[in-house]
């Protein structure tokens, strides 16, 4: 199986690039952030606090996560319900970041991700794929961009979807999540030693996609 890991902070362009590269190379794309978002959604739906490890741990066995592809798009079903439409709402980003810091949640998600990668040619994007989930992935990338540029992209995406927010709020959220994701005790966001670092601040989507595709082809030929 071919496994490609793309890690990096929020808004660096990982999912856009991972999707494009997967499509060009005939592989599947797995959005691991959506898995943590699904857990956060389930916990909030059950009226629990995403920071309360005992409460979350008690809910975890009830989470039967089923990842499906419908018309080429990833859909996550949790205990029979398609939760995908709810995952990108702004409050879910913070909730996902909080819940993802809990070791019990990470162990469950990492196990699912490893099982998935063992049976599919897949491009995964996340925070800890190259360092922890798949240390032997065929290719690893660490994608980043300045916080201002990442906030600019997120702000555009949110306002296009009709969200009411200011640029300053989005930038503050990005900075908070960067801090949370890189300071947690288990598998924090960091670049794997053998990852190719790509700063996308001044690059177009096409340029980054081509760069990743070229490196993947070189490394897997
Ligand atoms: O990529 P995203 O913004 O959808 O991720 C949501 C949160 O999930 C992010 O703040 C950190 C967490 N996450 C993680 O801890 N490990 C991953 N492999 C993917 C996401």
Q: Distance between the two ends of the chain, CA-based, in angstroms?
A: 13
Q: What are 55-96's pLDDT values in tens digits?
A: 999 999 999 999 999 988 999 999 999 999 999 887 898 999
- Residue from 56, 88, 97 whose mutation best tests the ligand 1 pocket (most atoms within 8 A of CB): 97
The neighbour count for residue 1, using CB atoms within 10 Å, is 11
Distance from C-alpha of 142 to C-alpha of 129, rounded to nearest angstrom: 10
Distance from C-alpha of 17 to C-alpha of 209, rounded to nearest angstrom: 6
Let me know if 119 is exposed, middle or buried by CB neighbors in 10 A (0-12, 13-18, 19+). Answer: exposed
Shortest-distance atom of ligand 1 to CA 7: 18
Shortest-distance atom of ligand 1 to CA 100: 15
Query: Please, which pLDDT band fits residue 187 given cuts at 50, 70 and 90?
Result: confident
Secondary structure (H, E, C), 51-67: CCHHHHHHHHHHCCEEE
Residue owning the nearest CA to atom 1 of ligand 1: 33
What pLDDT shows up at residue 161? 85
Q: What value, to the nearest 5°, has the Cα angle with vertex 127 and ends 119 and 4?
A: 40
Q: Which of 133, 150, 131 is nearest to 142 (CA)?
A: 131
Taken in order of first residue, the domains within the chain and their CATH numbers are 3-220 (3.40.50.300)
Give the SS3 label for residue 6: strand
Q: Which residues contact 74 (CB under 8 A, 6 or more apart)?
A: 29, 30, 31, 34, 67, 68, 84
Q: What are 86-130's pLDDT values in tens digits?
A: 998 878 989 999 999 999 999 999 999 999 999 999 999 999 999
What pLDDT shows up at residue 170? 93
Distance from C-alpha of 40 to C-alpha of 55, rounded to nearest angstrom: 12
CA distances to 55, 116, 121, 168, 193 from 9, rounded to whole Å, are 28, 23, 24, 18, 16
Secondary structure (H, E, C), 195-213: CEEEECCCCCHHHHHHHHH
- Residue from 127, 170, 180, 183 whose mutation best tests the ligand 1 pocket (most atoms within 8 A of CB): 127
Shortest-distance atom of ligand 1 to CA 97: 10
Q: What are 138-174's pLDDT values in tens digits?
A: 999 999 999 999 999 999 988 998 888 899 999 999 9
Once rounded to an integer, what is the mean pLDDT over residues 165-187? 92
Shortest-distance atom of ligand 1 to CA 101: 15
| Residues whose beta carbon lies within 6 Å of some atom of ligand 1 | 10, 32-33, 36-37, 93, 96-97, 100, 126-129, 177, 181
Is the model's pLDDT at 136 over the cut of 90? yes
How far away, in angstroms, is 33 Cα from ligand 1 center? 4
How far away, in angstroms, is 183 Cα from ligand 1 center? 13
Q: What are 21-55's pLDDT values in tens digits?
A: 999 999 999 999 999 999 999 999 999 999 999 99
The neighbour count for residue 199, using CB atoms within 10 Å, is 15
Distance from C-alpha of 59 to C-alpha of 44, rounded to nearest angstrom: 11
What pLDDT shows up at residue 179? 93
What pLDDT shows up at residue 44? 97
The neighbour count for residue 47, using CB atoms within 10 Å, is 7
């Amino acid at each position: 199986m071919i496994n490609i890991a793309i890690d990096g902070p929020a808004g660096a362009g990982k999912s856009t690039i991972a999707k494009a590269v997967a499509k060009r190379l005939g592989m599947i794309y797995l959005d691991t952030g959506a898995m943590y978002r699904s857990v956060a959604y389930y916990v909030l739906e059950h009226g629990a606090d995403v920071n309360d490890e005992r409460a979350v741990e008690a809910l975890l066995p009830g989470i039967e996560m089923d990842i499906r592809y419908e018309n080429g798009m990833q859909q996550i079903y949790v205990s029979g319900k398609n939760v995908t439409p709810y995952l990108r709402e702004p409050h879910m980003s913070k909730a996902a970041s909080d819940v993802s810091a809990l070791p019990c949640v990470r162990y469950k998600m990492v196990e699912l991700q490893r099982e998935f990668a063992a049976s599919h040619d897949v491009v995964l994007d996340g925070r800890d794929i190259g360092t922890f989930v798949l240390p032997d992935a065929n290719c690893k990338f660490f994608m980043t961009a300045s916080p201002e540029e990442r906030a600019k992209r997120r702000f555009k995406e949110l306002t296009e979807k009709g969200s009411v927010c200011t640029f300053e709020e989005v930038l503050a959220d990005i900075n908070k999540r960067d801090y949370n994701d890189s300071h947690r005790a288990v598998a924090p966001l960091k670049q794997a030693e053998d990852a190719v670092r790509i700063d996308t601040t001044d690059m177009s989507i096409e340029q980054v996609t081509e760069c990743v595709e070229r490196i993947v082809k070189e490394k897997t030929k």
